[in-house]
Amino acid sequence: MSTVEVLGALQKVKRYPSVTTITSDNGLSFHRAAKELKVLYAPHSRDLEVILSNIEAMINMRPITTVAAEVDQIEALSPADSLYGYKSKTFFPEHTLKASKRIDADKITFSRRWVYQQKVLNNFWKWFHKEYLRYLRSAHSRKPPPTRPLRVGDICLSEDHNPSRAYWPLCRVVALKGDAKPEHARSCTIKTATGQILDRPKRNLYPIESPKPN
């Protein structure tokens, strides 16, 4: 059999889904067919490995509960902290998918395969980020425990419409606007993990862990 015939025969195997092993006479045409298949599948296998490892990192770095810390510290525990025993601060930098200079257009980070990987990861991140925020909103409105409004001191995620991958903007509620009661407040003042003081609508804040009601 020629290499073309071997490859053709392999395509016909899909008619028999119970086939798991193929035994050959180790002929030259089979060796050539094996090389052809490696050319086809190796890049896709590498793509899958890169994409899945990044998705694993995104999911494991999500904040799940607050950490007892100083008043000025804003910190949350993630699954990755429990897995590795320390907080990772290593991120692969994100970048635009088109070169700003023509001289950089042939760089690997702007190649079709690299751009494809980044698009898949960006799409997953947008979906996961949106769904996780929605989960946090509903997780604190179930019974038990009884629902309650945001209060000063709560640790929250601040909604970001253009978030970087695996970046979760933590903040602490430091004041309610107009000194309103918690159940009547529509906006509040927050302090971010980097020390910024901002005003945000209450609907854009998602509590990670609500303290027990008094």
Decide if 73 is inside a domain. Answer: yes
> Which H or E run includes 200?
strand 197-201
Decide if 157 is inside a domain. Answer: yes
Per-residue pLDDT tens digits for 68-77: 666 677 788 8
SS3 of residue 159 by DSSP: coil
Token pair belonging to 98: 């088109």
Decide if 167 is inside a domain. Answer: yes
Task: Domain of residue 128: give its range.
Answer: 61-207
Evaluate the CA torsion angle 149, 130, 199, 193 in order and state its sign: positive
Per-residue pLDDT tens digits for 132-174: 888 877 665 555 455 568 888 888 888 877 667 667 888 999 9
pLDDT at 89: 66
pLDDT at 214: 45
d(CA 153, CA 17): 59
CATH number of the domain residue 202 falls in: 2.30.30.40
Decide if 99 is inside a domain. Answer: yes
Contacts of 165 (CB under 8 A, 6+ apart): 54, 58, 94, 121, 122, 125
**Distances from the Cα of 104 to the Cα of 29, 32, 111, 119, angstroms:** 42, 37, 10, 19
Contact at 8 Å (CB) between 213 and 69? Answer: no
This prediction's pTM: 0.61
Decide if 36 is inside a domain. Answer: no
pLDDT at 41 over 70: yes
